[in-house]
Amino acid sequence: MPFAANRGPLGLGSPTHTRGIAMLPLLRTTALGIICLLATAAVAATVYRWVDEQGKVHYSDLVPERYRNTAKPVDAPPAEPTPEQQRAALERAQSEKAKALAPSVGRSGPTESAQPASAASAPSRKRPAQVPNDQTDCDTWQRLYMESIECFGPYRTVRGGVKPEAFEVCNVVREPPPTRCRMHIP
């Protein structure tokens, strides 16, 4: 009976072995609790600031022995911006939006007509505003194609897909056919 040999004082069927199995969930829970406490303590560590011999400023929670006398604790900034900071950020965003909607002058002149200030909150037209057809010359088609690529750029995902909201802002311009015009790479 080879199986009976395992039933010794510490074998598989012994009372000590079955109590050990029953204790595993308690041990796992205790270990998880200790890990969580250590992680919390690491996050709440004090950050110190010190300057080395070359004048370089360092920030860390671990200070080298020779800089411990000169290192000073740094107060962490508040997690939430103050109402004044929120108001300033909102005003800055509105002014940047107004600048973006203002007519921009490029090589070929203004690209959009001037819009009144009340239209600043209205959605802008799709870019590029023109879509090429068979009568479009090669340089214009290439410019529109590049504008379309630049417009879709911020909406690309990590895997190369395009977010659906991109099609509300950008027009799809296909690449100029190679039989018709040769692509100029800047």
What mean pLDDT is predicted for residues 94-115?
Answer: 62
Whole-angstrom CA distances from 85 to 89, 97, 121, 182 are 6, 18, 22, 51
Report the distance separating Cα 182 and Cα 179, nearest Å.
8
Residue identified by tokens 């296909």 is: 174
pLDDT band at 7 (very low <50, low <70, confident <90, very high): low
Output the pTM of the full model. Answer: 0.33
Residues above pLDDT 90, as percent of the chain: 5
Helices (H), ranges, the chain: 15-43, 83-101, 138-152, 166-169
Contact at 8 Å (CB) between 180 and 138?
yes
- pLDDT exceeds 70 at position 179: yes
pLDDT tens by residue, 52-96: 999 898 888 888 999 989 999 887 665 677 888 888 888 888 888
pLDDT tens by residue, 133-173: 878 888 888 888 888 888 888 999 988 899 999 888 888 88
* Residues facing 72 on adjacent strands: 49
The angle at the Cα of 14, spanning 11 to 17, to the nearest 5 degrees, equals: 75
